[in-house]
Amino acid sequence: MCGIAGYVGKRRVAPLLVDSLKRLEYRGYDSCGIATLDGGKVWIKKDMGKIDDVDGKMDLKNLPGNIGFGHTRWATHGKVSKRNSHPQTDCKDRIAVIHNGIIENFSELKKRLKRKGHRFRSETDTEVIAHLIEDNLRSGLDLEEAVRKSMNSLKGRSAIIVAERGFPGLIAARTGSPLILGVGRDEYFIASDVPAFLNHTRKVMYLDDGEMVVVEGEPRFRNLTDGKGIEKRVITIDWDAKQAEKGEHEHYMIKEILEQKETIMKAINQDEREIRRVANEINKAFGVFLTGCGTAGKVCQTGEYVFSNVANKHVNYVVSSEFPNYRNFLTKKTLLITVSQSGETADVLEAVKAAKEKGVKVISLVNVKGSTLDRVSDITFLIKAGPEKAVASTKATTAQLAILYLLAYACAGKLNEGKKLLLETASKINDMLNPRYEEYIKKLAKKICREKNVYIIGKALNYPMALEGAIKIMEVSYIHAQGFAGGELKHGPIALIEKGSPCIVLTANDGMNNIIGNAMEVRARGGFIIGVGPKRNEVFDYWLKTPDVGLASPIVNIIPVQLLAYHLGVLRGCDIDQPRNLAKSVTVE
């Protein structure tokens, strides 16, 4: 989940790296560091803290040279400290390495290297890589072969960039974690995600699992297993740099919430022939699974309800980390639909791996063209939300929901009806998201921002959105929040209700949402009822109106909760775009 960025070219590298790391900070922000090559030396500066803080303290931009790399850390092995920051080096500071991922066998490797006399200075698994390369160099291998052999010794998911004193370039390799080469004019960028270099080039070459690239002059791609050369094609990304900037907004999160005026419309602009083809695959499959993690998992759970109510079709939702346990149900007639913003989520990729081993066809909804999930899927629908940089997902969520609705309606032979519903929904969201509406939600946030607990209830299609709303409030404001099916409150959780306890009630005019009775049960015990939906009810102490869109209510009902979570976080002084302990792309298991 760490962010890694490298550069080989003619420009001064340090300022470029600082800028790239700022653009990758959503991937990790415990600590950061930079290494550059110049004058036969490896220059390193690193420390705990965010990029701006460390740069202000250590003047990262003044490191010399035009070759180098940088890293933002999301800690796994070893506490957050300066010595555990990346880059990590070998015994003689000849080799520098940055790394994203987890080395599962690092303890075994570390013990072996210590017996050979290697001295370790950190608690990280990453440092093992630098010493492995050093050890292989001692045996007479050149740097390329030393890196290749070292990577083949590692177990787990990893992406690395390596620099050596005196070597006029960089070497990068991946086994599971994402890595991309950006192609400029006589210059090359290496990064874990496209936004790192999007303001310099939109031309990319993707490393697949088990591949390495030597960036010394023209890039040379090789297979890690046998060392054979690999031909790569250049792909042009259709994002532009402005999409990845905050613009006039204080935070990425609010920018991305407001962009839902347009992103849902973009999401449903899909090839209708492809939608119908996939609907046919779903209808003829013997067992259909939906899988995702976190917020994407709640989208899948909503999809289970949507397919049931729209297409009279049973699909199974399984959270990705648990999906391999279902492998005994999988056959060549099974279909797996995966949902992921980044297309690099480790648990999702493991689910796909388990499915592929059984011959299952994989269809994916993903936001990043060329991502690992995009490349390993049989069919991909790009959700077209543009870069989403806030850790808390918002616009990607509703775009993913929209495509699942399209597929469900197509399965029922009602694609045009579904598309009409979603177009109307997008139009009504455009009307809803106005400054007055946001101000009204901000007023509510002021009322409840000092509460320790918030409860959210929903029924039918809105039950998964109650769970998602709780995720949003927790990750952005650090208020403990829980989502429940409305009918489950009386089976235990209602014991938590005290006088003034905020309870958000998601309602809809869809013929299934008889949740008002549950809201009354909470109010009778002193709860403060916040209604979300198209109709005011006397049980509501505060009402957040949403458009009446029938079965599409989950798409509109989650948006005011996103706004509430945002303003709660602002009022509580939280780090909105980079919440503590979290990272955007969860590329470790």
CA 299/CA 399 separation, integer angstroms: 10
Q: How many CB atoms lie within 10 A of CB 154?
A: 25
Cis before residue 87, ω within 30 degrees of 0?
yes
The single residue of 50, 232, 428, 584 carrying the catalytic annotation is 584
> How many angstroms separate the CA atoms of 253 and 390, rounded?
5
To the query of whether residue 584 is one of the catalytic residues in this protein, the response is yes
d(CA 329, CA 317): 13
- Please pick, among 2, 32, 293, 411, the residue that the annotation labels catalytic: 2
Burial classification of residue 575, based on how many CB atoms lie within 10 Å of its CB (0-12 exposed, 13-18 middle, 19 or more buried): middle
- Quick one: which of 238, 221, 241 has its CA closest to 230? 221
| 116: nearest Cα among 91, 83, 141 | 91
Q: Tell me the residue ranges of DSSP E strands in 61-129.
A: 67-73, 88-89, 95-101
Distance in angstroms (rounded) separating the CA atoms of residues 572 and 454 = 15
Strands (E) in 176-261, as ranges, are 180-183, 188-191, 203-206, 211-215, 220-223, 229-230, 235-236
Give the residue from 45, 69, 41, 71 showing the smallest Cα distance to 56. 45
* Cα 348 from Cα 20, distance rounded (Å): 27
Q: For residues 538 and 487, is the Cβ–Cβ distance under 8 A?
A: no
* DSSP string for 513-539: ---HHHHHHHHTTT-EEEEEESS--TT
Contact between 408 and 422 (Cβ < 8 Å): no
Q: In this structure, what token pair is assigned to residue 143? A: 């740097």
Non-local (6+) Cβ contacts of 371 within 8 A are: 178, 340, 342, 343, 344
- The residues with which 220 forms a beta bridge, in sequence order, are 214
Q: What is the DSSP string of 424-470?
A: HHHHHHHHH-SHHHHHHHHHHHHHHTT-SEEEEEE-GGGHHHHHHHH
Helix axes 415-432, 553-571, angle to 10 degrees: 30
Beta strand pairing status for 180-183 and 203-206?
Answer: antiparallel
Taking the C-alpha atoms of residue 230 and residue 68, their distance in angstroms, rounded to an integer, is 24
Q: Which of 26, 48, 190 is nearest to 587 (CA)?
A: 26
Distance from C-alpha of 118 to C-alpha of 16, rounded to nearest angstrom: 33
- Phi then psi for 312, rounded to 5 degrees? 55, 40
User: Rounded to 10 degrees, what is the CA torsion of 100, 101, 107, 112?
Assistant: -60
For 438, residues 6+ apart whose C-beta sits below 8 A from its C-beta are: 563, 567
The residues assigned a catalytic role are 2, 584
